[in-house]
C-alpha cells in the first residue's frame, strides 16, 4: 500500500516544471529566513535534493551568509550520518541516487539545532512518509535531538498516512505556502 502512495507522490513532485521548482525553493528559503528560530542556530542539517525534492540550494546559501554550519547526510548500509557541507565540498552521486560529500567530515547529529528533512508525503500532524528505508527514523529516534522540519511541495500533503511507533514525527513542515509547526 505505502509503495503505491510513495510512487504517486514521487511522480507528482517530479512532474513540477523547473520554473515551479525554483519558485518553491525560493519560497522555502524565504519562509525559513522569516522564522525567528533560524536566527539563533549555529548548525543545521540539510539535504541535497534529488527526485523532485524541494531544492535547498537557495536556503543553504542563506545559511552560509549567516555563518550557520551546514551538514548533509551520508547513507551507509543500515545507518546515516551527517557531514559538514561547505561551498568547497565536492560531491558524488551515491548508489541511492543522492549527492554525498566525497571526503566526509562527520558532524555529530546532537550538534545540529535543526534538521531539514526530505519526504515523499506528510500530514498536518507531522507524519512523514520517506523513501522507505527508515534512515531518518533510526537516526533521530532518541530524544530530544534536533528540531525536525519536513520540506515538501504542497502537492505532497496527505490527509492520513499509516505510520507506526518507530516513525519519527516532524516538529514542523515548510513548503511554498510557508512554515507551520505541528508539535
Q: How far is residue 122 CA from its own chain's centroid? A: 12
For residues 117 and 148, is the Cβ–Cβ distance under 8 A? yes
Query: Going by DSSP bridges, is the β-strand pair 128-129/99-101 parallel, antiparallel, or unpaired?
Result: unpaired
CA angle 61, 108, 32 (to 5 degrees): 30
Q: What CATH number is attached to the domain comprising 38? A: 3.40.50.10420
Residue range 45-51: mean pLDDT, rounded: 95
**This prediction's pTM:** 0.92
Q: For residue 134, is pLDDT > 90? A: no
Residue range 56-82: mean pLDDT, rounded: 94
Residue range 5-32: mean pLDDT, rounded: 94
> Counting Cβ atoms within 10 Å, is residue 36 exposed (0-12), middle (13-18) or buried (19+)?
exposed
pLDDT at 131: 79
pLDDT at 15: 94
Residue range 75-98: mean pLDDT, rounded: 90
Q: 97: how many CB neighbours lie within 10 A of its CB?
A: 9
* Average pLDDT for the chain: 91
Interacting residues of 95 by C-beta distance below 8 A, sequence separation 6+: none
Q: Which residue has the higher pLDDT, 76 or 29?
A: 29
Q: How many domains are there within the chain?
A: 1
Question: Sorting pLDDT into bands at 50, 70 and 90, what band is 114?
Answer: very high
User: Which of 71, 65, 67 minimizes the C-alpha distance to 48?
Assistant: 71
Domain that holds residue 37: 2-181
Q: Which residue has the higher pLDDT, 1 or 89?
A: 89
Question: Can you give the length of the chain in residues?
Answer: 183
Grid coordinates representing 62 are 542563506
Amino acid at each position: 500500500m505505502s509503495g503505491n502512495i510513495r510512487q504517486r507522490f514521487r511522480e507528482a513532485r517530479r512532474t513540477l516544471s523547473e520554473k515551479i521548482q525554483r519558485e518553491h525553493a525560493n519560497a522555502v528559503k524565504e519562509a525559513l529566513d522569516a522564522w525567528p528560530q533560524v536566527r539563533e542556530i549555529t548548525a543545521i542539517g540539510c539535504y541535497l535534493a534529488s527526485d523532485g525534492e524541494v531544492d535547498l540550494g537557495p536556503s543553504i546559501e542563506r545559511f552560509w551568509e549567516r555563518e550557520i554550519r551546514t551538514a548533509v547526510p551520508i547513507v551507509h548500509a543500515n545507518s546515516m550520518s551527517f557531514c559538514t557541507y561547505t561551498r568547497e565540498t565536492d560531491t558524488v552521486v551515491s548508489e541511492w541516487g543522492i549527492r554525498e560529500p566525497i571526503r566526509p567530515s562527520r558532524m555529530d547529529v546532537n550538534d545540529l539545532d535543526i534538521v531539514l528533512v526530505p519526504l515523499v508525503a506528510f500530514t498536518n500532524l507531522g507524519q512523514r512518509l520517506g523513501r522507505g528505508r527508515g534512515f531518518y527514523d533510526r537516526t533521530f529516534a532518541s530524544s530530544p535531538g534536533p528540531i525536525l522540519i519536513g520540506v515538501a511541495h504542497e502537492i505532497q500533503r496527505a490527509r492520513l498516512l499509516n505510520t507506526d511507533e518507530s516513525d519519527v514525527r516532524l516538529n514542523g513542515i515548510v513548503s511554498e505556502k510557508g512554515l507551520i509547526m505541528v508539535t
